[in-house]
Amino acid sequence: GESVGLHLPTLSVQEGDNSIINCAYSNSASDYFIWYKQESGKGPQFIIDIRSNMDKRQGQRVTVLLNKTVKHLSLQIAATQPGDSAVYFCAENPPSGSARQLTFGSGTQLTVLP
């Protein structure tokens, strides 16, 4: 079936280094993708989104790259800080359905080392 999944369940990076979190999706019809950050005991928090007609989108310290050829999404975090430690989920918004609910991937735990 269609799914959104992540390549790695955990990622540890040194403070100040760049982080790259990857995501594979299988629904080629999905037209909108979002990265969410979830801190322990909290709800998912929007980070950045990208539409399928784009390859790259930049935010503050974050960049999302979309490769539709291989159905791959990545989140790059520049100069990773301790506050970036969290679980990161990619989510896709399939075009079918009236309410366009999100389908979440499994999540990657990012740990920032001092």
Q: Which of residues 3-32 bind another protein (CB under 8 A)?
A: 32
Q: Which of residues 40-59 bind another protein (CB under 8 A)?
A: 41-46, 49, 51
User: How far is it, in rounded angstroms, from Cα 83 to Cα 98?
Assistant: 36
Smallest gap from Cβ 70 to another protein, in A, equals 22
Among residues 89, 87, 82, which one has the least CA distance to residue 15? 82
The radius of gyration of the chain's CA atoms, rounded to the nearest angstrom, is 14
107 contacts another protein (rule: CB under 8 A): yes
Q: Which residues bind another protein (CB under 8 A)?
A: 32, 34, 36, 38, 41-46, 49, 51, 89, 91, 93, 97-107
